Amino acid sequence: MSGDMSAFFALHAGLPRQGPGLASDVAWACAAAGTPPDGVVCDAACGPGADLAPLAAAVPEGRVTGFDLHLPFVAEAALVAPVGTRLCRGALVSRDGLPDPVSLGPFDLIWCAGAVYFEGIGAVLDHWRHALRPGGAVAFSHPLTTGAPDGETRRFWEGGAFGDDDALDAEIAAAGWGVVARSRVTPEGWAAYYEPLLARAKRLKAADIPDLRLPIEEAVQEAADYARLAPRVTYGLRVVRPV
């Protein structure tokens, strides 16, 4: 992603989700973690709130907290969040006085779709071990390649040399955590992200707004690159606990 971030967010505003995934991924993670019906759970980097309802469904007697660094996403999340959801602006790891899972918790489960890698697995998990109740878990999705990283996959991941499942598990182990369950985001999960994005890009392209031309081109190219590179690039799903 390059160019003006305000143009990027203008393109992405109003989308149901900001990355690949499905409600069934959330249900799988909660079940794998053994999250109790009265559990306290967190959606870290919740975006516009697509995963808040499935989290609430997993803890019908519990409580859900969601946060995102981008305030407009928090506002969008508030429009779709189940009644009783606590929402705020926050960070994965505290900065600039913003809350994070440690100050907002403790939690039985922290769910984070496609954002942990921005801070790094080691840094996030080291911090979040202080945000869990006894027996609590973290579940997250993370970029993967299904073979050794190469030039094409690095370009898709914007320079990130993300490895395969074994490399991801090794990084988790190096942080002092154990893998409880593993899976991957399905092609349907990717379609749930790209289809609304491409539909919005098509409508905005017809309006021919100069400041939006570059992010529209980048979004269309990214979707085409994914279609060409799948399944060499995907998201791994992990449920982990401190060792």
Enter the tokens of residue 192: 């749930």
How far is 128 from 39, CA to CA, in rounded Å?
17
**Alpha-carbon distance values, 53 to 43, 47, 84, 228 (Å):** 11, 13, 11, 32
Specify the residue for token string 């006894």.
134
How far is 124 from 238, CA to CA, in rounded Å?
14
How far is 113 from 221, CA to CA, in rounded Å?
22
Give me the phi and psi of 123, to 5 degrees please. Answer: -65, -40
Strands 177-184, 233-242: pairing is antiparallel
The pLDDT tens digits of the residues spanning 53-98 come to 999 999 999 999 999 999 999 999 999 999 999 999 999 998 889 9
Q: What does the radius of gyration of the chain's CA atoms come to, in whole angstroms?
A: 18
Residue 2 has pLDDT above 70, yes or no: no
| Cβ neighbourhood burial of 64 (10 Å; 0-12, 13-18, 19+) | buried
Dihedral of CA atoms 157, 66, 99, 104 in degrees, nearest 10, equals -130
Tell me: cis bond preceding 231? Omega within 30 of 0 counts.
Answer: yes
The pLDDT tens digits of the residues spanning 87-115 come to 999 999 988 899 999 999 999 999 999 99
How far is 27 from 47, CA to CA, in rounded Å?
18
Residue 1 has pLDDT above 50, yes or no: no
Average pLDDT in the 156-174 region?
94
**Alpha-carbon distance values, 166 to 23, 89, 138, 173 (Å):** 25, 34, 18, 10
Closest to 240 in 3D by CA, of 105, 58, 109? 109
How far is 60 from 58, CA to CA, in rounded Å?
6
Q: Which residues contact 66 (CB under 8 A, 6 or more apart)?
A: 42, 43, 46, 49, 52, 74, 77, 81, 85, 86, 87
pLDDT at 4 (0 to 100): 75
pLDDT at 160 (0 to 100): 85
pLDDT over 70 for what percent of the chain?
99
